[in-house]
Amino acid sequence: MQEILRLAIRNCLRHRLRTMLTILGITVAMAGFVFIRTFIEAWYAGVKTTAKNRLVVRNAVSLIFPLPISYFNTITQVAGVEKAGYGNWFGGIYKDEQYSSFQQFAINSSYLDLYPELIINPLERLAWESNRQGALIGRQMAAEYGFKVGDIIQLKGTIFPGLWEFEVQGIFAAKSADYDTRLMFLHWDYLNERNRTEINRQPDHVGFYMVKVQDGFSPAEVAKAIDERFANSYAETLTESETVFVQGFISMLATIITALNIISIVVILIMLLVMTNTMLMSMRERYVEYAIMKSLGFEARHLYALLLSEALLISLSGFGLLSVIMAIAFSLPPQALLGDLAKFFPNITLTPFTVGAAFCAALVVAAISGSLPAYHITKLRVTEALRYIA
């Protein structure tokens, strides 16, 4: 009803400070909710960019043990293997950082063919292939650190100790926005060379093999076939789909993610507390007015609609304010907001699911906080209320 809506709006404007504070409270709580949910989703985003028909082959005994380079030929000949590549996780540190936000992999050339979702300029790739000390870096990483083609990146090796210098030959992007392009590709050959001569940390070994399964072949079966090839050998392999592999990493923090999920519910509770507080206060102040309306012939459902409208106006305003803030926040680079935390995430994007969840939360909170005082009102006896002298 128009009248009721008008009344609701005017009632909200009565105590402007209180209404604004409540809206602010809702906004803050929703911001917390969105932050937590976005965090959780960002953490799981890694799985989205994996492919089921890409397999990871690694040492069965332990993730940290390498596999011999000699396995490469054998793997490419297994039925169902369309293409294979290999690499080592380099784990270098840039400048004085405690942990670098970009990952470095020492790979062979065919590795790049396994990732059609990366957009690599063919000329840049050629340049990289002809420079042993060349590096291909991802767009996000380039943006974050301001690297350009031709820059020299100096890394301090941890697993492979020493000072390493690489020249940026190209910057690649990814087709999907979910893809984490804080990534740097180096040459495995260069790493192995130095490993053989200076470092001697299991040279001629790779950290993992990457395999693309041919269309028409079952990834599970190809994985099994690969492992069977190397059963009872010097280094047994464990082959699994990229999705399963990444999930293994993500589940490392499963407990903390659960805790965060719990906290996001607590946030909704806090929203509810703030709203209900305000609504109860408003109701108490206007008790007599409700009595008068009842005496005029307004029924419980009208008054309920009034209270609900007020609650909705407040919580939806909070949502509106939140939307404005989020729009600004997400157009900024992650560093500005999260500072150090940004290192731990691939991409921060606001998913429609999170927005929808926040909106639903706003509706639910309004409904509940409006219903509680409304219940009091429906029980209201006009005669008693009229005896009330504020």
Partner 1 sequence: MSLAVSYNARYLITRKATTLLTLSGIALVVLVYVATLMLAEGLRQTLAGTGSVENAIVLQNGAQSEIQSGVTRAATNIILAEAEVARRPNNEPISSTDCVVVVSLKKSVDHKPTHATIRGISKHGLEIRPAVKIVSGRLFQPGSKEVIVGKAIHKRLTNAQIGSYIKLAGTEWPVIGVFDAGPTGFSSEIWGDVNVLMSSFKRDQFSSITFRLKDRADFAAMKRRLEKDPRLKVELKRENEFYESQSQGLADFIKLLGTVISVIFSLGAIIGALITMYSAVLQRTREIGILRALGFRAGSIFCAFSAECLLMALAGGVLGVTAAVLLSFVTINTVNFQTFAEISFAFRITPRIALQGLMFSLIMGFLGGALPAWRAAKVKIVEAIRTL
Partner 2 sequence: MTEASTLNHPISKAIINIEKLSKSYQRGEELVQVLDNLSLTVKEGEFTALMGPSGSGKTTLLNLIAGIDKAGSGYLEVAGSILNELNESELTKWRARHVGFVFQFYNLLPVLSALENVALPLSLLPMSRRERYERARFALDIVGLGERANHFPAQLSGGQEQRVAIARAVVTDPTIIIADEPTGDLDRRSASEIMVLMQRLNQELKKTIVMVTHDQAAAGYAGRILHLDKGRLLD
63 binds partner 1 (CB under 8 A): yes
Running DSSP on this structure, what letter comes out for residue 251?
A: G
Rounded distance, CA 334 to CA 355, Å? 18
265 binds partner 1 (CB under 8 A): no
Strand partners for 55: 211, 241
32 binds partner 1 (CB under 8 A): yes
68 binds partner 1 (CB under 8 A): no
Residue 288 site contact among partner 1, partner 2, none (CB < 5 to 8 Å, cut-off depends on kind): partner 2
Rounded distance, CA 92 to CA 162, Å? 10
Residues 95-134 that bind partner 1 (CB under 8 A): 98-99
Q: Are 42 and 345 in contact (CB under 8 A)?
A: yes
Q: 238, 253, 292, 355: which one contacts partner 2 (CB under 8 A)?
A: 292
Place of tokens 């607590």: 266
Q: Which is nearer to partner 1, 8 or 30 (CB)?
A: 30
341 binds partner 2 (CB under 8 A): no
Q: How many residues bind partner 2 (CB under 8 A)?
A: 22
CB 286, min distance to partner 2, A: 9
Q: 4, 8, 36, 135: which one contacts partner 1 (CB under 8 A)?
A: 36
Q: 43, 65, 190, 217: which one contacts partner 1 (CB under 8 A)?
A: 65
3 binds partner 2 (CB under 8 A): yes
Cα torsion through 257, 258, 263, 265, rounded to 10: 120
21 binds partner 1 (CB under 8 A): yes
Residue 28 site contact among partner 1, partner 2, none (CB < 5 to 8 Å, cut-off depends on kind): partner 1
Q: Are 306 and 369 in contact (CB under 8 A)?
A: no
122 binds partner 2 (CB under 8 A): no
Q: Which is nearer to partner 1, 331 or 383 (CB)?
A: 383
Write b or e for each residue in 7-33: b if 16 or more Cβ atoms lie within 10 A of its Cβ, otherwise e. bbeebbeeeeeebeebbebbbbbbbbb
Strands (E), the chain: 54-59, 67-68, 81-89, 93-94, 103-107, 118-119, 134-138, 152-157, 162-174, 183-187, 205-206, 208-213, 237-241
- Radius of gyration for the chain, computed over Cα atoms and rounded to the nearest angstrom: 30
Q: Are 333 and 146 in contact (CB under 8 A)?
A: no
CB 255, min distance to partner 1, A: 5
14 binds partner 2 (CB under 8 A): yes
The bridge status of strand 208-213 relative to strand 54-59 is: antiparallel
383 binds partner 2 (CB under 8 A): yes
CB 292, min distance to partner 2, A: 7
CB 374, min distance to partner 1, A: 14
Residue ranges binding partner 2 (CB under 8 A): 1-3, 7, 10-11, 13-14, 288-289, 292-299, 381-383, 386
